[in-house]
A and B are shown apart, each in its own frame.
Chain A
Amino acid sequence: NAGVMQNPRHLVRRRGQEARLRCSPMKGHSHVYWYRQLPEEGLKFMVYLQKENIIDESGMPKERFSAEFPKEGPSILRIQQVVRGDSAAYFCASSPGTGGDEQFFGPGTRLTVL
Chain B
Amino acid sequence: RKEVEQDPGPFNVPEGATVAFNCTYSNSASQSFFWYRQDCRKEPKLLMSVYSSGNEDGRFTAQLNRASQYISLLIRDSKLSDSATYLCVVMGTGRRALTFGSGTRLQVQP
Contacts and interface: CB of A to CB of B under 8 A. Distances in A.
Interface of A: 31, 33, 35, 37, 41-45, 48, 55-56, 58-59, 89, 91, 93, 95, 100-108
A105 B41 contact: no
B45 A101 contact: no
Nearest to A3: B43
A57 to B, nearest CB: 10
A95 B95 CA distance: 13
Contacts of B99: 45
B97 A105 contact: no
Most buried by B among A42, A44, A89, A93: A42
Interface range, B side: 20 to 34
B98 interface: yes
B74 interface: no
Interface SS majority for chain A: strand
Contacts of A37: 41
A42 B34 CA distance: 15
A45 B98 contact: yes
Interface in B61-76: none
10 tightest A-B CB contacts, nearest first: A45-B97, A105-B43, A101-B32, A42-B102, A43-B100, A42-B100, A105-B44, A107-B43, A108-B43, A48-B96
